[in-house]
Amino acid sequence: MILQHGTIHTMAGETIEQGYIVIQNGVIEQVGTGDLLHVEDEDIIDLKGAHVYPGFIDAHTHLGIFEDGLNFEGDDCNEDTEPITPHLRAIDAINPMENCFREALEGGVTTVVTGPGSANPISGQLAAIKTYGNCIDRMIVKAPLAIKMALGENPKSVYHDKSQTPVTRMATAALIREQLHKAKHYLEDKKRALEDEDSTPPEYDLKCEALIPALEKEIQVHFHAHRADDIFTAIRLAKEFGLDYVIVHGTEGHLIADELKEEQVRILSGPFLSDRSKPELKNLTPSCPGILMKHGIQTAIITDHPVIPLQYLTLAAGLAVREGADYDAALKAITIEPARICGIEKQVGSIEKGKDADLVVFEQDPLLLSAKPTMVFVNGIRRV
């Protein structure tokens, strides 16, 4: 397949006027400018000057795991019967037949990170997936991508109602620390047993096994944290155990931007198209991502779907621009930056040779309220 005569916003450093994209086997084979001569491909789309972007990426959602329009029947987001559940896998709960997948595609979102919520201090395993398909195993970009952990009000409020620990921020951090120590010692015992035939391997522990990739930096830890003090607790825990971590939400990040820059923190910022529904959101502002970006902090914009429906990711980016974010930085915050932050940039996030042919075509500025994709491609196949 060939797309030609378009303005190609590669998110890889340059914009190509009157450009073309050659797609083979679902992958971008070539990107260039001008007309392709001696082309034998029968599947040629003339873009007639339209704008092409990489498929948009939302790096924090609960797509398919917190189903739209349902109550407990479609809520597989929080296993709040116990506070420590690192062994739970998002892919075992995602329903790709849910209507919101189609709506995400229609909004140009082709890749999301989805998974458990923030009821538990350690909630489970996140997955990066494409938004088109009927079998989750065939939609995976990376799974597990990260272990989800949560600080602040959510674990407190959930377990306070149950008269069960944790009901304080101290207990939340202590439970996380305790389980990480268990996993660390479990890993040490496993390695010792491999090296010394006289050593007995530990009894199999599914929770510890789930945390080993995080301790060895094979996968990330995504910390849910809104308040500044919770962000610093996440940093403290990450340093203590040598974790490759990302802050999710970072609602008060703009208040501590200098410190976050010093710590080289990465933030998935949002949602800010919402109300201040709880005390820790009192400093919620759509100017936050712009402030973080101006401080040189690696930032992506998120919807936290279904808090904000996925198809409005571009509206969130547009609002960030209105409130001070650089326009190009906001576009990168829903394309290449979430890919880089989540470690999937070799596959998605920009229009470059060798990457998945996930593309979205617009006739106008995609961050405008009136903008709607005219074409969306996932793995080189037009789906919208």
Q: Between β-strands 56-61 and 109-114, what pairing exists: parallel, antiparallel or unpaired?
A: parallel
Residue closest to 355 by CA, chosen among 15, 7, 16, 24: 24
pTM value is 0.97
Return left, alpha or beta for 264; rule: phi > 0 is left, psi -120 to 50 is alpha, else beta: left
pLDDT value of position 214: 99
Q: What is the rounded CA–CA span in Å between residue 102 and residue 107?
A: 9
* Residue 190 in this model has a pLDDT that exceeds 80: yes
Rg (CA), the chain: 21
pLDDT value of position 316: 98
- Backbone torsions φ then ψ of 279, nearest 5 degrees: -55, -35
What residue has token string 């296993």?
A: 79
pLDDT in tens, 257-271: 999 999 999 999 999
Go through the domains of the chain in sequence order and give each one's CATH number.
1-55+350-384 (2.30.40.10), 56-348 (3.20.20.140)
Q: What is the rounded CA–CA span in Å between residue 271 and residue 233?
A: 21
Q: Are 55 and 359 in contact (CB under 8 A)?
A: yes
Give SS3 for 185.
Answer: helix
pLDDT in tens, 250-300: 999 999 999 999 999 999 999 999 889 999 999 999 999 999 999 999 999
Residue 141's H or E segment, with its range, is strand 140-150
pLDDT bracket for residue 69 (50, 70, 90): confident
pLDDT value of position 41: 64
Residue closest to 299 by CA, chosen among 264, 255, 351, 275: 264
Give the residue ranges of DSSP H helices in the chain.
99-106, 153-160, 169-195, 206-215, 228-241, 257-263, 288-294, 313-322, 327-332, 336-342
- Backbone torsions φ then ψ of 339, nearest 5 degrees: -65, -45
Angle at 383 between CA 380 and CA 384, to 5 degrees: 125
Taking CA atoms, 101 is separated from 127, 236, 345, in Å, by 15, 36, 22
Q: How many CB atoms within 10 Å of residue 99?
A: 10
Instruction: Work out the average pLDDT over 181-199.
Output: 95
